Amino acid sequence: SQPLSFPKSFQWGFAAAAPQIEGAAFEDNKGPSIWDTFARIPGKVLNGDTLDVACDHYHLYEKDLELMAKLGAKNYRLSISWPRIFPKGRGSVNPLGIDFYNRVIDACLLHGVTPWVTMFHWDLPQALEEDFGGWRDRRTADAFGPYADTLVKSLGDRVKNWITINEIFCFTQDGYGNGTKAPGAKESEQVVNQTYHTALLAHGEAVRAVRQYGGHGARVGITDNPIPTIPLTETEGDIEAARQTFIEINSRVLEPLYRGEYTDAYFKVVGPNVAHFQQEDFDLISQKTDFLGLNVYTGQFVRTGANGSPEILPFPKSYPTADATWLAHAPQAIYWCARHVAEIYEVPSIIITENGAGYDDAPPVNGEVLDLHRRDYVRNYLRELHRSIGDGVPVDGYFLWSFMDNYEWMDGYQRRFGVVYNDYATQQRTPKLSAKWFGQVMAENRIL
Ligand code: GCO
């Protein structure tokens, strides 16, 4: 085979999420999400940017899918907006919401693009935040059950790849802990742990829904963003230190999912601030899934410290990052994250559901955006991903975040993650250099 080629069945694609691209935030009976509310609080989002219009994908989806297919994508990870389907989070279904996603799925299939559908990518219906306290309360997971049922029943004849929930860590820790994401709350650690637990229950409801109504060939998994731990050197001591650290710092999500209980690693990390739970919750939470989605952007270096225990190394100021400064350029993160979940939890199939880089790209010049920075970022991570497959790690797919520039949460529209440039004033899409390069990678199934 060619150098740096991927297995024949490897799945390549683009990823995006409803709230970040759709716009039409109050159209066709969509209810407000906690992000629609949060974005309106002065000072919370850069430049006061809202999700109201975003990339106007709600109206431009046909053209977007045409472009995606033209760039060579065979897979597309999209998300569904809960408040578009249930404007108040529960109660009666909004048929116009179902219609929209029917049209999007049909457009995918028309263009030979397989949809991978995320049921929840952070846009919680505002009504559930008001009625139940959102993720603080298990009634939100109870409401998620019928929502998941509705999605699987209406789209499951065409959608076979389901992702339950995106990045529990982010919307709990940031949404209810430090308040940087919607709903912007600053709760105690115990309450934050409770939000994790509710989210895990919702994941369980979604798995149940897919098993119950998904029909032939339906597959389901969660997308997690564990903090990757990279051994400073690939020697036994540092490798062991990175492994131990990985288990502990990611214990809130991965231990209950794969061990079916809160383990010692969890109790060690949360101390007295344990979530309230019932033993039978774990029957729901730890149902067997078909794959684990991983979003990998950056990682933490770990070594064996002077006293023999693992030590996480802080990044010095001069360490290279994307313009998104949280995004330290650490390609080994993708290798180690995949390897750790495969080794520690015996995950049978791993899909990289997101990887990419955020920069403040300048507008096209003569129709070109020469984003060598993004191209090289992705290329370096792909080389490490390729290495993991060579070492026997079962990675079966890679989705680049993101298809086009979009609403980057509290960084608004300034921070661009797309391989397609979006001019927000005209909604004109221009593929960047990275899009053309990645298209060729997908077509040739190897790193170029
Ligand atoms: C996330 C979200 C994406 C972000 C991306 C870049 O994973 O944080 O899934 O919506 O836009 O990760 O920060």
pLDDT tens digits, 38-96: 999 999 999 999 999 999 999 999 999 999 999 999 999 999 999 999 999 999 999 99
> Which residue ranges in the chain fall short of pLDDT 50?
none
Rounded Cα–Cα distance for residues 384 and 398 (Å)? 12
148, 276, 156, 128: which is closest to 203 by C-alpha? Answer: 148
For ligand 1, say whether the CB of 166 is within 6 Å of any of its atoms: yes
DSSP 3-state assignment of 224? strand
- pLDDT tens for residues 119-135? 999 999 999 999 999 99
Task: Indicate if ipTM > 0.85.
Answer: yes
Q: Is 129 a catalytic site residue?
A: no
Q: E strands, 190-264, where?
A: 219-224, 229-231
Check pocket membership of 295 for ligand 1, CB cut-off 6 A. Answer: yes
Residue 317 sits at φ, ψ, to 5 deg, of -55, -30
Which residues have C-beta within 8 Å of that of residue 72, sequence separation ≥ 6?
439, 440, 442, 443
> What is the pTM assigned to this prediction?
0.98
Catalytic residue among 129, 205, 354, 408: 354
Q: CA-to-CA distance for 48 and 115, rounded, in angstroms?
A: 32
H-assigned helices in 250-313:
251-259, 264-270, 281-285
Contact (Cβ atoms closer than 8 angstroms) between residue 77 and residue 68: no
Which pLDDT value is given to residue 2?
73
Does any ligand 1 atom lie closer than 6 A to the CB of residue 123? no
By most ligand atoms within 8 Å of CB, the mutation choice from 401, 406, 416, 419 for ligand 1 is 401
What's the length of the chain?
448
What are the two backbone dihedrals, phi and then psi, of residue 117, each rounded to the nearest 5 degrees? -105, 120
Question: 277 phi and psi, to 5 degrees?
Answer: -150, 165
Looking at residue 235, what is its pLDDT? 97
Q: Is 344 in the pocket of ligand 1 (CB under 6 A)?
A: no
276 contacts 194 by C-beta, under 8 angstroms: yes
Cβ atoms of residues 355 and 383 within 8 Å: no
Atom of ligand 1 nearest to the CA of 401: 5
**What pLDDT does residue 1 have?**
59
List the one residue out of 80, 79, 90 whose CA is nearest residue 137.
Answer: 90
For residue 352, report the distance from its CA to the centre of ligand 1, in Å. 13
Alpha carbon distance 45, 63 (integer Å): 29
How much is the pLDDT for 369?
A: 98
Question: Domains, the chain, ranges and CATH?
Answer: 11-444 (3.20.20.80)
Q: Distance between CA 355 and CA 77 in Å, rounded?
A: 12
Q: Tell me the per-residue pLDDT of 338-361, one tens digit each, with 9 for 90 and over.
A: 999 999 999 999 999 999 999 999
HSE value, Cβ hemisphere, 13 Å, CA-based, for 112: 8
For residue 3, what pLDDT is reported?
Answer: 86
CA distance 126 to 305: 46
